[in-house]
A = this chain, B = another copy of it.
């Protein structure tokens, strides 16, 4: 245990000194749920809180990875160190790795000020809700100024990503469904900023107009933050400087209003809760295959002999007696 402790401290120190391989090892250990994870997080704790976290979300096809790549370029030009986590909660055949690889290979392969990693977290006990915040803390401790976390899809995973970010950027594009569909996806609730990408395509102005209409329906208290809409073309770079500037303004508002502290407190709450829940599930054998007590109860529920609540009571009762 003392070995794990000193090993973790040494790796964290190396990563903080700019050793990219040490950093990659740390992130892998977080992703794989390494036995050293606890030691790593203890070693990392004193150094967190510097980095700004930007969440990037949007439906498939809107150009999330292109926007992320363009934003990374602008941030690098301003001298900021940038970490990117591309999260794919569904872990398909080939998906997860593509995002990060595409950016990495095109632009930033030799830039030590950029760290890019794709993560697929299905099957991990506690999943994304445990892994992603820990990975962000490792990158934060390693001294990155801005962390981008990007996810595929619209739905629960997206809402979770918003919970991890200081600023959540929702990306839309023309031709991706009508405005009612946009409202359905719940983007109004999680967006701090909107990017309408592919501004050169027909219909981009319609998307902006629909968004404005929906924002007009919400109520924005004095001194509150009303999400701006940035029209951009990530492939040409148009609008990305404005996006970076709007993100700076949002960060300033977060700090001045006290909202930054509130968001980070809520994030820590969620993080502790997710870890505690995963630990409880592990103790119960829930989520691990082949746990015979659960299998037998599931058989009774599937056969209509028992309801799921009574089965859950029995499962918990077994633990209390054990």
Interface of A toward B, CB cutoff 8 Å = 37-38, 41-42, 44-49, 59-62, 88-95, 98-99, 122, 128, 133-134, 137, 151-160, 175-178, 180-190, 214, 217-218, 261, 264-269, 271-273, 275-277, 279-281, 284, 286-287, 294-295, 297-299, 301-312, 315-316
Q: Which residues of B contact A156 (CB under 8 A)?
A: 89-90, 128, 153, 155-157, 160
Other CB < 8 Å A-B pairs besides A42-B307, A276-B315, 19 of them? A37-B309, A38-B307, A45-B301, A45-B307, A90-B159, A90-B189, A92-B183, A92-B186, A92-B187, A95-B183, A134-B308, A152-B154, A153-B153, A153-B185, A176-B176, A265-B295, A271-B301, A273-B294, A279-B312
What separation, in Å, do the CA atoms of A256 and B68 have in the docked complex? 48
* A interface, over-half SS: helix
**Copy total for this chain:** 2
Given contacts A133-B308, A152-B154, A154-B154, whether A269 and B284 have CB atoms under 8 Å apart is no
Q: Which residues of B contact A178 (CB under 8 A)?
A: 61
Q: Is the CB of B267 within 8 A of A60?
A: no
